[in-house]
């Protein structure tokens, strides 16, 4: 039921409208009604469909046992967890991240929220790239900002730098870059990131106010074919690194992530103080004690990337052979497939009738496509492949009838 005008604020009403398609998918769609049904092939979101990694379960069990009387006291940005994250980031990004510049959050959703609250004044514009991750727009509005959409280059799936440059105005406060990109699986190449840095530097100089880059790196460890990932933070000092362990551990319900400020970020100490204050005010936005203790072990764990890559290769090859137009993702959990019918919702309904569930492109501003999550189990893929072929036959039959 829609929130009534008298019971909620005008902003709540707008936010409700912005998340309505996603909310409906989560709670009311045919997938929602059949979630957990053993007969379905679930390619929707990055949820695990196999048991958690044994090492993960063991770490949870180990760190649950209190080692001192303050084990479960209030936690903020705990030194030990900060150290673990900073050491790992320094190694992966080649920048000397300081533990004090890591702000631990409940995954990257909370990290993004705290960054928006830290930097946005009412009406400040935030550029986001489309197709986007589902919640950027609503989160920008929630923090008082104005979302500005820029499309990717649909041929290369790369950033459209010219479009970004022309979307910048004197009100632009930030740009969100999500590399590797959900849903296309594209890793933005170093030359693109270097050019982007030049654009943001010149906008900052022209506006007399910093234009920040928010680097959503949720999938930076889910990379195929031994490709190299480069963080935008290495190219542009005014970058907030936003990270979640939910993807690499494939345990998105046990939430931990962070915002990290690169060592060369100007005014990092003031920004960090503001972030910490907002974490306290905004619902004690720190991960719970167990996840902070366990980070020592969790930091080095990863889903089986070889297995994930085998699933990618198998699905891409089989779908292509059946006649689907598919791009091979360089990274992330996702495969983007061209929908045989322009109306992707209708084609996804056909797949649903065959027990296959996935995300219609129009739910993420990418119409005429659908997205498959590689977190589906091998058994689901086995069952789904002949059904994908069946759906395509039905499409061909309808075209000729
Ligand atoms: C690009 C992107 N950013 C952020 C998130 C949120 O991640 P988490 O739920 O682990 O905070 C997701 C999750 O799907 C994502 O795909």
pLDDT of residue 2: 63
The CATH T-level fold of domain 68-298 is: 3.40.640
If you count them, how many residues does the chain have? 401
Counting atoms of ligand 1 from 1, which one is nearest the CA of 252?
A: 10
Distance 353 CA to ligand 1 centre (A): 28
Domain spans in the chain, listed from the N-terminal domain onward: 36-53+304-400, 68-298
Residue 81: closest CA among 290, 301, 246: 290
CA distance 190 to 399: 43
- The DSSP element (H or E) to which 258 belongs, if any, is strand 257-260
pLDDT of residue 398: 73
Query: Which stretches of 35-129 are DSSP H helices?
Result: 54-64, 79-93, 107-119
Counting atoms of ligand 1 from 1, which one is nearest the CA of 255?
A: 10
pLDDT of residue 1: 61
Q: What is the pLDDT of residues 332-344, one digit of tens each?
A: 999 999 999 999 9
Residue 261: closest CA among 191, 295, 210: 210
Which pTM value belongs to this model?
0.97
Q: Which CATH number fits domain 36-53+304-400: 3.90.1150.10, 3.40.50.300, 3.50.50.60, 3.30.530.20?
A: 3.90.1150.10
pLDDT of residue 3: 61
Counting atoms of ligand 1 from 1, which one is nearest the CA of 181?
A: 1
Note whether 400 and 330 are within 8 A (CB).
no
Does the bond joining 180 to the residue before it have cis omega, within 30 degrees of 0?
A: yes
Distance 134 CA to ligand 1 centre (A): 9
pLDDT tens digits for the chain (401 residues)?
A: 666 657 889 899 999 999 999 999 999 999 999 999 999 999 999 999 999 999 999 999 999 999 999 999 999 999 999 999 999 999 999 999 999 999 999 999 999 999 999 999 999 999 999 999 999 999 999 999 999 999 999 999 999 999 999 999 999 999 999 999 999 999 999 999 999 999 999 999 999 999 999 999 999 999 999 999 999 999 999 999 999 999 999 999 999 999 999 999 999 999 999 999 999 999 999 999 999 999 999 999 999 999 999 999 999 999 999 999 999 999 999 999 999 999 999 999 999 999 999 999 999 999 999 999 999 999 999 999 999 999 999 877 776 55
Distance 316 CA to ligand 1 centre (A): 23
pLDDT of residue 83: 98
* Assigned token pair, 78: 């705990």
Ligand 1 residue neighbourhood (C-beta within 6 Å) = 46, 107-109, 133, 178, 182, 216, 218, 244, 246, 252, 257
Distance 254 CA to ligand 1 centre (A): 13
């Amino acid at each position: 039921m829609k929130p009534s005008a008298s019971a909620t604020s005008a902003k709540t009403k707008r936010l409700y409208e912005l998340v309505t398609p996603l909310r409906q998918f989560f709670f009311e769609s045919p997938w929602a009604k059949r979630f957990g049904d053993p007969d379905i092939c679930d390619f929707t979101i990055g949820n695990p469909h196999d048991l958690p990694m044994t090492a993960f379960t063991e770490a949870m069990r180990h760190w649950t046992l209190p080692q001192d009387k303050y084990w479960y006291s209030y936690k903020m940005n705990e030194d030990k967890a900060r150290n673990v994250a900073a050491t790992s980031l320094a190694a992966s990004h080649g920048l000397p991240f300081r533990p004090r510049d890591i702000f631990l959050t409940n995954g990257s959703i909370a990290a993004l929220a705290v960054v928006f609250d830290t930097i946005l004044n009412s009406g400040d514009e935030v550029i986001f790239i489309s197709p986007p991750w589902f919640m950027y727009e609503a989160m920008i509005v929630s923090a008082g900002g104005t979302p500005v959409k820029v499309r990717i280059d649909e041929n290369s799936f790369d950033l459209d730098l010219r479009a970004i440059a022309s979307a910048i105005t004197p009100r632009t406060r930030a740009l969100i870059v999500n590399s590797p990109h959900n849903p296309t699986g594209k890793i933005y190449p170093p030359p693109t990131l270097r050019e982007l840095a030049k654009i943001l530097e010149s906008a900052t100089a022209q506006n007399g106010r910093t234009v920040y880059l928010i680097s959503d790196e949720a999938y930076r460890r889910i990379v195929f074919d031994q490709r190299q990932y480069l963080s935008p933070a290495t190219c542009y000092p005014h970058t907030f690194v936003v990270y979640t362990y939910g993807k690499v551990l494939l345990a998105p319900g046990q939430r931990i992530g962070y915002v990290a400020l690169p060592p060369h970020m100007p005014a990092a100490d003031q920004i960090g103080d503001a972030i910490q204050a907002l974490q306290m005010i905004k619902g004690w936005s720190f991960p719970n004690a167990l996840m902070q203790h366990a980070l020592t072990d969790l930091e080095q764990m990863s889903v089986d990337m070889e297995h994930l890559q085998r699933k990618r290769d198998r699905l891409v090859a089989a779908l292509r052979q059946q006649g689907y137009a598919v791009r091979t993702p360089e990274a992330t959990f996702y495969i983007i497939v061209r929908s045989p019918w322009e109306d992707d919702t209708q084609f996804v309904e056909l797949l649903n009738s065959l027990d296959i569930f996935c995300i219609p492109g129009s739910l993420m501003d990418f119409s005429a496509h659908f997205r498959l999550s590689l977190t589906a189990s091998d058994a689901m893929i086995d069952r789904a492949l002949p059904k994908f072929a069946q759906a395509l036959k039905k499409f061909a039959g309808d075209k000729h009838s």
